[in-house]
Structure formats: C-alpha cells, structure tokens
Structure 1
Amino acid sequence: MESAPHHADVRDLFVIGGGINGCGIARDAAGRGLSVTLAEMNDLASATSSASTKLFHGGLRYLEFFEFRLVREALVERETLLRAMPHISWPLRFVLPWHKDMRFESGTPTSKVLETLMPWMKGRRPAWLIRLGLFLYDTMGGRKILPGTTRLSLDATPEGAPLKQKFRRAYEYSDCWVEDSRLVVLNARDAAQMGAEILTRTKVVEARREGEFWAITLEDTVSGQQTTKHARALVNAGGPWVGKVIQEVASIDCTEGVRLVRGSHIVTRKLYDHDKCYFFQGKDGRIIFAIPYETDFTLIGTTDADHSDPSEKPVCTPEEQAYLCDFASEYFERPVTRDDIVWTYSGVRPLHDDGAKSATAATRDYVLKVDDQGAPLLNVFGGKITTYRRLAESAMEQLSPFFPALMGAWTAGAPLPGGDFKVGEVEQIVAGLRASYPFLSEFWARRLVRGYGTEARDILGDAATADDLGRDFGATLTEREVRWLMDKEYAREADDVVWRRSKLGLRMTDGEVAALGEWMNDARPANNAAEAAE
C-alpha cells in the first residue's frame, strides 16, 4: 500500500479531457484559486471540440423541442462570449428562406401539438410559427450587440442570387461564428497562466480513491512512461469517453448514460459571394447550414447519426456527403456535387441520453452529476460549445461544498488571450498590423488577427521583412508562428497546426504539411516548453 501523499503534492482538481468543457472548467477553477491539473490523451480539441459547425448560437430549432432554458442560456452567452473573444468570434447574419413545403421532423413536441390542433397542416412548418420562433429568439436573450430579425425579399439581391427562383422570401436573423479549436487552446493557455498544469498526449489509465484523495495514474502516450498524481476532486470531462472513464478508469457504477451522435460536415469551393449564412430546412424536417468559410470556401453541415463506439474514428461517409450535397442542391440554383468538396470532417457529440427516439431529437443540454462516495467525482454529460462557460460555472457550483474557500464566478467579463479589444475593432487592428508590418498581405494580416488578436504583434515581434520570420512553410505559415504554437499552444505535430490551431491545411500541399511535420519533429526538444520542463 502506497503511503499517503504529502498535502503539498496534492492538486485541488484533476480534469480528465482537453476539449472545451475540460479546458473551460480548468480555466474557471484556476481563476478561483484552485490548483488544477488537466490531462488530454491526444491534442487539445482533437475530438468533438474541433468538429463543430463553428457557431455560437442559441439553437433556433431547439425551440421546437421546448428546450427553452437551454436556448435562453445560449442566447445570453452569445454576447458574453463575443466580448471576451472578439478575435476568434464575430457576428453573422443568417438567411432563412421560406417556402410552403417546410416540414417538421416527425415526433417533435411542437409538431405533435400542431398535428393535434391543426391536423390539416400535415406536418408543415407554417410561416407564423417561424415568425414566432424568431421573435422568441430575438427577445429571450436580452440582445445588446446583435441586430434582430428582419424580413428579406430575395428578388434581385445578393442573398437571392445563388438560390433557386422559387425562394423569393426569407427571414434574416443573428448568431455568431467561433473558431472552435482556438477557443479550446486559449482557455487552456489562460488556465496555465493562472497556474494550471496542462498535460497533452497524456492518458489517464486509472483513477482510484485513496482515503480523501484521488490517485490518478497517467501514461505518456509517446514514451509509455507512467506517473501518479493525487487530487482532492476529479472532473470527468471525457466527452465521448465519459462513460468509459466512469466504468473502466474509475471503476464506478453509474445510471447516467451518454448518447453518441455523429455530426458530419463538408467543405466546398466557395458557392456564393456574400458574407451571410444560409439556414436550410429539408423535406425530412432536418436543417443544415451553409456558411462562408476561410475566405474561399463554404461549410455545409451537419448530419445527425448515432455512433456506437467513441474509439471508432468518425468520418463523413459517402452517404452523408451525398445527403448534404442533395440537401443544399434543393436550394442552390447550381447543384452541389461531390466534385465541389475539398475537405470533410466529422465529430462525435456526447449527448446526455434522455431516451429520445432520434439522434436529432436528443437534448443538447448538459447534465452534471457528482459522485461523493468518498473523494468527489464530477461527471459531465452533454453540453454545447455555446454554453461551455456557463457549464464551467455550474461545475464549480457543484464542487463548491468541497472547497469552502472557493472564490466567486469571474469569467463573464474576462477576455481570452489576444481578445483585449472591443467587438467591431478588428478592421482597425488589421489595418494597424499592416501599417506596422508592410510585408503582410491583407489575407495574412487578417488571418493573424483572427487567430491571435492583439498577440499577433507578439508573434511578429521585430520582423522588418517576411524573411525575418524564418522558414516559409507555405500559405503564410512561418517558422516564428510555428515556434509560438509549439512553445505556448501545446502543438506537437503538423496536424495540430494546420487543422486545429489554423485551417491552413485547406491551402497547403501534402508535401508542405509533411515538411512542416519533419521540421517540428526536429525542433521539438528545443522548442516545446512542456517537454523542456519534464
């Protein structure tokens, strides 16, 4: 039997999972004065949190499932988050074309009510119901920054130009974009700046209660070396693996379940020329978005399909690709085909299993459960990216009885790294960056500001020419930026850089990505701060 750990070696909180919920909880806890360690078995945001539709949104369609609490919380959060991260998040306008054949997905609470009261509607979504939903969407969250809903004629307008002639009427409303992977990394960075220990490529292989503490056995997934850490409380933010962590890592029985739902997306060549998004409603009652993406592309998604095993890598299947192409082609004048697709991605959403009949109907709300049969364990089920900050606050409320000196909530007004400027100031920051560094193109400067905000200047430093930034890896990615990502943002491999810290994989050749990976492998011992500290 191991001797009891010295109290100075015990962390207050150990977080399993480096997705948005785990990193959000680690940041919140560290800012309240707790000592925190977080372990992620792969890269930060390597699973669900990098595979979202990239939206901070209330979830307009969730109103049809009577998810009013969730929608209101998410609507309030949109503007709170916009203020905290105006570099990686920004307002978007959504165009919702209307036509008389719009239908509910079968079995939604709203459709059941209308089928009972107005059977002659035969499952259709009437225009008055859409207007009511948009009215609630505008008013439930107390908007101050985002403009409200307007009616829109699609005749001879940029919004109507790419659509079929039968779509002549639309509604336009507001939601927000977010760079999801960067959101996770910046939460981790902020947590680390407040004293949290962030361990990537580190798998939790066992967690067991030893008296008043948790003993957590960790395995470095690169070297295979195992170590043990102790903590007063354990947070299971394993996302798709939350159930496996409970049963196989902590060896605890739990009645709560998780429903794994695969959401797939396609990225196509740019399909239209304006900067607004489309909200399309299908004949099957589902919805998809078509969103301007990375300047030269269009993002289309998502699907909802049950996914049985979190260890099975999710992919956008040929059937899902065809479904999304056909769905979008019902609206766009020029059909969207497989030849338009330049990239696909898919993620598994770990939804709380509420017994819903379909994956689409499963709740997007989160459920937090504390197991206090000894040292406390908090299990995180479900959640959506828009409400991650509130989820973290709720998690701390659940854990507060175990930490009597815990400080109060603080994240609502706190900017993430690089986000210390006001919403709407991006253009002047881009212009200022180009004035200070004349060698930057418009695309390059905007990409840096959208990724790093005011920290873009810290990356560029004293560079007078592009050559001063070191090796050019292609697509405006330079050695100095990669060193920043390795030293400060936990990047270890090429995919970490080109598909999560950025989306430059869309612009780089396979050869350029391979050359970047080789360079990072050679540079890692001297430039990876986490490894240097080990």
Structure 2
Amino acid sequence: MKRDFLLSTFSSNSILDILIIGGGINGSGIAADASSRGLRTGLFDSFDFGAATSSCSSKLIHGGLRYLEQFEFKLVAHSLKEREILLKKAPHIVSEMRFILPHRPFLRSAWIIRLGLFLYDHLARRTILKPSYKVKLNNEGHFKKNLKTGFEYSDCWVDDARLVLLNAMDAKENGAEVRNYCQIVKAKRFKNMWVVTIKNRLTQEVFERKTKVLINAGGPWAQTIIEDNLNLTSSHQIRLIKGSHIVIPKINNINKAYILQSDDKRIIFAIPYLEKFTMIGTTDIEYDGDPRFVTISDKEKTYLLNIINEHFVKQIELKDIIWSFSGVRPLVNEKQESAQKISRDYILELNLDDSMAPLLSIFGGKITTFRQLSESVVDKISQFFTDIKPCVTKETVLPGGDFAYPVETLIFQIQTKYPWLNESVIERYAHQYGMYTYKLLKNCSKIQDMGIEFFDGLYQIEIDYLISNEFAKTEEDILWRRTKLGLEIPQEKIKSIKDYIELKLMNSPLA
C-alpha cells in the first residue's frame, strides 16, 4: 500500500524523489533507471564516478563460470542474460571475447568442464554470443607441452569505467542532478524527508538537498555510511575482499583471453588489453583498511606470475609488470566461507517505519548484473510514488550506443567524414564515445581545429569535451577513466594537461 507522505511527485525544485549516495556502477545504474522512469533523481559521489571498485574490475561482463561449482545457478543465469542486453545497450564499449580454458585433469575432470560449459551455453537464451567447443592447444605453440587440449567459450569485455560514466551521463540527460567530488557529510530524517548535507570537496562549498527516499550505494563504504553518516545500525556486515591485477606486454598475438586454473582451484584471467598489453588477474585477499588506498602486494604479483608461467612457454618476470591496480569487492559477510566462495549476489535492505522516510541500502553485487540490480532497486521503492513509469533499460541504449551495426562500420563512417584525423585516434574515439564522436568533433573540419595536442592523439578539444560533458575534473579522471592514455603518457606531459584542466575549470561554468 502506498504511503500518504509520498503519494505525489516532487512539489518544489528543492525536493528530490531519490538521492543516491555513491557513483559507482550500482549508483550510476540506479540513477539512470530512476530518472528514465520520471523520478527526480540526485547522484553524488565523494570522488570521481567509478574511481574505486567499479574501475578496478577484470573488465568483464561474464556469467561467472566458476559460480556453477558453488551451485549459484540463478546468479549465473541472470548474468548470462545480462551479457546480451549490455551488448546491445553499449556496443561501443562492450564486445564479445572468446576465452580459452586449458584442461588440467588433476584439477577438474573434462566431463565436469563440459557439463559446466553446457549449462553456460543453455541457462539463458543466447542469440549473439557463440557457443563453446573443445580445442587443441599444442598447435599454437604458446602453451607448455603438458597442456594439449582445452575448451573455448564466449563472454564479453567491457570498459568498466566508461560503463559507469555512460550511466551517469544517461541520468543527467534524463534530468538528474549528477555531481562527483561531492561528499555526503550527514543525512537526517526530518518530517518524512531526508535532509542531506553535502560538501563539494573541490570548492569546499557546503549545501543541502532534501529527498523523499535515500539510496545507499556506497559499495565498500555502505556499512560505514549507515553507521557514521546516518547514525543508524547496519543489519549486514561488509566483508572486504581485495582483487588485484597486473598488466604486462602482450603475451602473444592471439586476440583471445585465457581462463587459467591454479593449483588452489581458483581461476585467473589473462585478457588482451589496449592492443599492446595483457591484463592478468584477479586475486581474492581479505582486506582490512581504507578501500581508497588499496594496493597490490609482492605476494599477489608472484602468485599471478606463477600461474601464467605454469601455462605458457614464454615466461614472465616481476620486471615485466608495466602497471598494476587493485580494488576492493564489498561482499556480504559469510564468516564460514573462504574469500573465493562468498556469493557475488546482492542484497537490498529497506529501512523504514510508518513515520520515517525510507532508506534503501545495497550490499554486494557484481558489474555484470548492475542493470538488473538497478531495476530491482527502483521497483522496490516504486511503492512510494504514483505514476512511476515502467523500466525501459533493457531496450534503451547508453549515450553513444545508438548504432545497429558493427563498431568497425562506425569507424569507417567516421574516417570518411574526417579523413584528416589519424586512424588510431578515430578508432579510440569510436570505442570510447560511439556516436558521440560526432558530438566531440562537431566544430572540426581540419586538424588545426582540434587545438593543442598535449600527447600523441590527445587534443585540447577532447579535454574540453570531457570537462563539459563527462564530469571530468582532474588529469586522473581523463587519463585513467575517461580514456586509458595514462598507461602510455610520459610523466613530464602530465603537468601541462593538469595546468590546462585547472585553467579550464576556473573559467568554465559548465564544469
């Protein structure tokens, strides 16, 4: 039954229907869903959108093959279904990737793997992704001689940081208030509403927002937000699990990923990354500390390298590591379980009584099922609003994704319109911005119109676009999340980029 104090839509511009704390993949996804259903929505993050866990994933939209061993068939089925939805929603940043699983008989028998892949192929309807099959490995010359056969199947690669950004952009285009670097200082219930105090960490401005429903999508900080910022008691305990990755020069010229079994029966991925590199991960380590400052340990580096070297002829050393990154997965605490056995499913907790405004908190979850989680969250709070529209996120595309042909065709079309622009830059634009590449280049008819070239392929016009349209505030926002140029740009070039951004922000009311 709908409750009287929330029966009408917002009555003034100062009152939001929902305010979301946390701009990771779940928070941005909820903002996109809620705003598309007509709810007046606010999205706030203390740092940049996706700056923590959501940009430190294995960059995969996957069903979770290993979850079948834990009998999480529902989670796998939902994840498999979401793969094809996201392929259609964001074809510029999500793409099919073939995975090779070398068979190691002493770890898992062939029939167990075949059964798992059969379920993987059939637990959800599959119209785009190709099925699995058995392959011979010794013909390639990349694997050690004891690895003769394997299995190949499909999952999807995703630019995780841009997936977060596109959802935040989608919410803003739907009319939401979307602000990064804005910290929730405190929130209190007052006369059937939440009064939320917010501090802009860049300008030090402190302001308030009132909202009918408060959404806690704080990820690793969800429990802290409840206990410290809201002064309430959390009914769920968060268990922090560190996952680390390393990046090395490309291990071979095959554009496929590998799923490798270790002696402890865990699996790691070796995934093609930005054409020149291979990304390897992840680990599962208990973590007790501030999620903002998580880093890889030497033990984790050695662990990942050892698994790679057990499989491939080409041996990798510590000195070959070009870059590493770590993230903290916020999982619902199951004290009896090891880190790798804790469920990756999510829990939604609604906190309310007859006289108080609702609080909905999200615990757990994974990037693959963020859209489904977002739909479930808005469905759960829909009881507090009249005339809320149905969910449309299965059918609608994310910004830049409104093309129904392969991304290679889009690249060709952009090249035809802008023949003076370097082919590698066009290819990067197409995969990052999709159809919004035309928005980025709308005032350009020659290379001089691109402005200053700060680094090979990074022009002034792109930085301006990212500040005006994608909430970029720092050089890190641009070099590591909006683009991935931070992996290659020399340190001495970064200062000029930083100085330009600061000057631009000082003079730009849009920023």
**Which TM-score applies when normalising by structure 2?**
0.96
Pick from 400, 403, 414: which aligns with 1:418?
400
> Greater CA deviation, 434-443 or 401-410?
434-443
**Residue 444 of structure 2 is aligned to residue 463 of structure 1:** yes
1:510 has 2:484 as partner: no
Q: CA deviation at 1:438?
A: 1.7
Contact 1:241 1:310 (8 Å CA) reproduced: no
2:136 match: 153
| C-alpha distance in 2 between matches for 1:278 and 1:510 | 32
Alignment of 1:351-362 (within 5 A): 351-362=331-342
Q: What is the Cα deviation at residue 223 of structure 1?
A: 2.6
Deviation at 1:528, TM superposition (A): 5.5
1:397 is aligned to 2:397: no
Letter in 2 for 1:146: L
Q: Are the equivalent residues in 1 in contact too, given 2:94–2:157 (CA < 8 A)?
A: yes
Partner residue, 2:218: 238
2:153 to 144, 152, 173: 173
Q: What is the SS of the residue equivalent to 2:431?
A: helix
Matched, 1:20 2:1: no
Aligned partner of 2:6 in structure 1 is none
CA distance in 2, matches of 1:511, 1:494: 13
Over the matched positions of the two proteins, sequence identity in percent amounts to 40
What's the counterpart of residue 37 of structure 1? 42
Q: Give the 5 Å matches for 1:81-480.
A: 81-102=86-107, 125-156=108-139, 160-311=140-291, 313-373=293-353, 374-422=356-404, 425-480=406-461
> Cα deviations across residues 81-129 of structure 1 (Å, max 9, x unaligned)?
1001000000000000102222xxxxxxxxxxxxxxxxxxxxxx21100
Cα distance in 2, alignment partners of residues 188 and 10 from structure 1:
20
For 2:256 and 2:508, the matched residues in 1 are separated by 40
Structure 2 spans left out of the alignment, 5+ residues: 1-9
Contact (CA 8 Å) 1:205, 1:249: kept in 2 or not? yes
Distance in structure 2 (CA, Å) of the matches to 1:528 and 1:506: 30
Deviation at 1:17, TM superposition (A): 0.3
1:486 partner letter: I
- Give the CA deviation at 1:354: 3.0
Amino acid at match of 1:353: N
Instruction: In structure 2, give the amino acid aligned to 1:412.
Output: K
Note the alpha carbon deviations across 1:196-252, whole angstroms, 9 max, x for none: 001111100101100210000001112322111100000000011000000001111
1:400 and 1:176 map into 2 onto residues whose CA distance is 32
Quote the Cα distance in structure 1 between the aligned partners of 2:11 and 2:395: 36
Question: Which amino acid counterpart does residue 91 of structure 1 have in structure 2?
Answer: E
- Residues 1:11 and 2:16 are matched in the alignment: yes
Distance in 1 (alpha carbons) for counterparts of 2:278 and 2:509: 34
Q: Distance in 1 between matches of 2:316 and 2:385?
A: 55
Q: What one-letter code is carried by the residue in structure 1 that aligns with 2:434?
A: G
Counterparts of 1:137 and 1:356, CA distance in 2 = 28
Q: CA offsets per residue over residues 302-334 of structure 1, 9 Å max, x none?
A: 001111133551111111111111111111111
Indicate the SS of the match to 1:349. Answer: strand
Question: Which residue type is aligned with residue 328 of structure 1?
Answer: I
Distance across 2 between alignment mates of 1:40 and 1:452: 23
Inter-partner Cα distance in structure 2 for 1:355 and 1:403: 38
Structure 1 unaligned segments of length 5 or more: list them. Answer: 103-124
Mapped partners of 1:436, 1:356: distance in 2: 59
Contact 1:25 1:393 survives alignment (8 Å): yes
Structure 1: distance between partners of 2:487 and 2:30: 31
Aligned AA for 2:123? Answer: M
Write the distance in 2 (CA, Å) between the matches of 1:457 and 1:443.
16
* Partner Cα separation in structure 2 for residue 206 and residue 189 of structure 1: 26
Confirm or deny that 1:483 pairs with 2:468: no
| CA displacement, residues 284-311 of structure 1 (integer Å, 9 cap, x when unaligned) | 1110000000010000000011111335
Q: 1:407 to 1:356 in 2, by over 3 A?
A: farther
Distance 2:125 2:336 in 1: 30
* 1:288 alignment partner, SS class: strand
Q: Is the 8 A contact 2:61 2:157 kept in 1?
A: yes
8 Å contact from structure 1 (residues 310, 348) kept in 2: no
Note if 1:497 corresponds to 2:502.
no
Match for residue 78 of structure 1?
Answer: 83
**1:522 equivalenced with 2:503 (yes/no):** yes
* Residues 44 and 184, structure 1, Cα contact 8 Å, conserved in 2: yes
**Cα 1:421–1:257 shift into 2, 3 Å:** same
Cα drift, residue 475 of structure 1: 3.0
**For residues 362-388 of structure 1, what are the alpha-carbon distances to aligned partners after superposition, in whole Å with 9 as ceiling and x for unaligned?**
110011000013100000001100100
- Residue matched to 1:60: 65
Q: Separation in 1 of the partners of 2:171 and 2:438?
A: 22
Secondary structure in structure 2 of the residue aligned to 1:524: helix
Q: Contact 2:270–2:279 (CA<8 Å) still a contact in 1?
A: yes
Q: How many residues align?
A: 500
SS at match of 1:205: strand
CA distance in 2, matches of 1:466, 1:7: 47
Report how far residue 6 of structure 1 moved: 7.1
